[in-house]
Amino acid sequence: MIINHPLLGPRDAAEFVYLGDASLIDRPDWQDKNADEKFYEYGYLRENPAGKHQELWYHEQGDRSWLVLTRDTLTHEITKVEMARDVARARGRSK
């Protein structure tokens, strides 16, 4: 596969390491009253869709950035590549 890095252009996916669903960005608050349940869902339950999937890749043999890819799990077509840091901020992870 080729991942079109937003800053560096197309790179072989072999330079990257895969983590999983981009929902891993949405780490719950440890002081939430349902923290146990929320962390269980965060840690263990996955949509695992057959189709578009937002997912985290790390450019380990590159610029060390985490990326959020939107990739189709049926065709492997990648329709969007974003810097995970930007996505995390957009999802409200700024402190």
Partner 1 sequence: MPEFTLISAPPLAGYDQSFDGVTLSAPADLAIVSIALPLGGEAAAENAISAAYGAALPAPGKSVLSKDGKARLVRLSPDAAFVIFTHATPDVEPHVAARLKGDAYTTDQTDVWTGLEIAGPRARTALERICPLDISPQTFVEGDAARTIMEHLGVLIIRTGDDGFLLLSASSSAKSFLHAVETSIHNTA
Partner 2 sequence: MRYSAFKIFTQGLTGNKGWKPVWREPDPKPEYEVVIIGGGGHGLSTAYYLAKEYGITNVAVLEKGWLGSGNIGRNTTIIRSNYMLPGNEPFYEFSMKLWENLEQDFNYNAMISQRSILNLVHSDAQRDAFIRRGNAMFLAGADAEYADADQLRRELPFLDFDNARFPIKGGLYQRRGGTVRHDAVAWGYARGADSRGVDIIQNCEVTGFDIQNGTCRGVETSRGPIRAKKIAVCVAGSSGRVMAKAGMRLPIESHVLQAFVSEGLKPVLPGVITFGAGHFYVSQSDKGGLVFGGDIDGYNTYAQRGNLPVVEDVAEGGMAIMPIIGRARLLRSWGGVMDMSMDGSPFIDKTHIGGLYFNGGWCYGGFKATPASGFCYAHLLARDTPHPVATEMRLDRFRRGHLIDEKGQGNQPNLH
Partner 3 sequence: MTQPNRIEGGQVDRSKEVKFTFNGKNMRGYAGDTLASALLANGQRLVGRSFKYHRPRGILTCGSEEPNALVQLRSGAHQEPNTRATVTELFDGLTATSQNHRGSLEHDLMAVTDLLAPFLSAGFYYKTFMWPKAFWEKLYEPMIRKSAGLGSLSMQDDPDSYDKGFLHCDLLVIGAGPAGLSAALAAGRSGARVILADEDFTPGGRLNAETLEIDGMGGADWAAQALAELAAMDNVRVMTRTTVYGAYDHGIYGALERCTDHLASSDGKPRQILWRIYSKRAVLAAGSTERPIAFGNNDRPGIMLAGAVRAYVNRFGVTPGQQVAVFTNNDDGWRTAADLAAKGVEVTNIIDTRDAPAVCDVPGARHIRNAAVMDTVGRKGLKSVTLTSGQVIPADCLAVSGGWNPNVHLTCHQRGRPEWRDDISAFVPGRDLPVGMAVAGAANGAMTLAAALTEGRDVANAQIKDLGFTASRKTAPKAEDEPRDCAPMWHVGESKNRAWVDQQNDVTVKDIKQSYREGFRSVEHLKRYTTLGMATDQGKTANIPALAIMAECTGKSIPETGTTIFRPPYTPIPLGALGGRARGKDFRPYRLTPSHDWASKNGATFVEVGNWLRAQWYARPGEQGWRDSVDREVVMTRNSVGICDVTTLGKIDIQGKDAADFLNVVYANAFGKLPVGKVRYGLMLREDGICYDDGTTARMGENHFVMTTTTANAVLVFRRMEFVRQCLCPDMDVHLISTTDGWAQFAVAGPNARNLLRKVVDEDHDISNEAFPFMACGEVTVCGGTPARLFRISFSGELAYEIAVPARYGNAMIEVLMKAGEEFDAVPYGTEALGVMRIEKGHAAGNELNGQTTALNLGLGGMVSAKKDCIGKTLAQRPEMNRDDAIRLVGFRPVDRSLKLIAGSHFINQDEEAVMANDQGWMTSVAYSPSLGHSIGLGFIKSGHERMGEIVRAVSPIHDTEMDVEIVSAHFIDPEGERLRA
Binding residue for partner 3 (CB under 8 A) from 24, 62, 70, 82?
Answer: 24
CA 59 to chain centroid, in Å, comes to 12
Rounded least distance, CB 47 to partner 3, Å: 18
Q: Which residues bind partner 2 (CB under 8 A)?
A: 1, 12-14, 18-21, 40-41, 43-50, 53, 55, 71, 73-76
Strand partners, 70: 54, 80
Q: Are 89 and 71 in contact (CB under 8 A)?
A: no
78 binds, among partner 1, partner 3, partner 2, none (CB under 5 to 8 A by kind): partner 3
Residue number, 6 or 43, with CB nearest to partner 1:
6
Q: Based on the number of CB atoms within 10 Å of its own CB, is 83 exposed (0-12), middle (13-18) or buried (19 or more)?
A: middle
Q: Which helix (H) or strand (E) holds 35?
A: helix 35-44
Residue number, 8 or 35, with CB nearest to partner 1:
8
Binding residue for partner 3 (CB under 8 A) from 18, 73, 77, 80?
Answer: 77
